[in-house]
Amino acid sequence: MGLNKLIKQCAKNDRKAQKEIYQLFGDKLFSICLKYSRNKHEAEDNFQDGFITIFNKIDQFSFKGSFEGWLKRVMINTILIKYRKKNVLNIITDEIPDEVVVDVEEDELSLDFLLNLIHELPERYRLVFNLYVLDGYSHREISEMLRIAEGTSKSNLARARGILKQKIEAYQQGQQSI
């Protein structure tokens, strides 16, 4: 069955079509949940909530553009709505620290290590960092998605980079003293 037919069947609540969509895109969407969640348990909850939202809104897909891109956006928005409800996105000041440059020797840090550092960031910083750096959204788009000021988005990104820089430097200093 073609993708367009699967989507149309899903809009009619066809369980077999829903299962196929889940099998086709589940791994990619779960990796998004892992990226935007504090831990695996929260990622699993977000994944389930996201798929419920996807199947409830699949009839809104207009067959223009990428279906996978639409799925990704719905999943991210579902997660962000939960964070907005928890008020984890607000910060006290919009003051933007200077641009942070992180000096990393190639092959010195593993991808898993860097992802763990990102995962340890406070939620509001991690969300903005992921949206801007890993998913390529602009500060304007992030401000709309998170319902925060554009300056807050920039400030959160700068603070996230600052925290990452400190952690990387501390790690590198620890490696040199061994």
Given a contact cutoff of 8 angstroms between Cβ atoms, the answer to whether 127 and 146 are in contact is: yes
Fold of 3-86: Rna Polymerase Sigma Factor; Chain: A (1.10.1740)
pTM over 0.75: no
Distance CA 124, CA 131 (A): 11
Q: Taking a C-beta distance cutoff of 8 angstroms, is the pair 142, 132 a contact?
A: yes
Q: Could you tell me which CATH class the domain 111-176 is placed in?
A: mainly alpha
CA distances from 163 to 117, 127, 158, 174 (A): 9, 14, 9, 17
Q: Would you kindly state where each structural domain of the chain is located, as residue ranges?
A: 3-86, 111-176
CA distance 132 to 155: 12
Q: Is 21 left (phi over 0), alpha (psi -120 to 50) or beta?
A: alpha
pLDDT, tens only, 15-51: 999 999 999 999 999 999 999 888 899 999 999 999 9
Q: What is the DSSP letter of 154?
A: H
If one counts every other C-beta atom within 10 angstroms of the C-beta of residue 44, the result is: 14
pLDDT for 176 equals: 61
Q: Tokens 């409830």 belong to which residue?
A: 56
Query: What residues of the chain score a pLDDT lower than 50?
Result: 89-94, 96-107
**Cβ atoms within 10 Å, residue 89:** 20
* pLDDT for position 62: 93
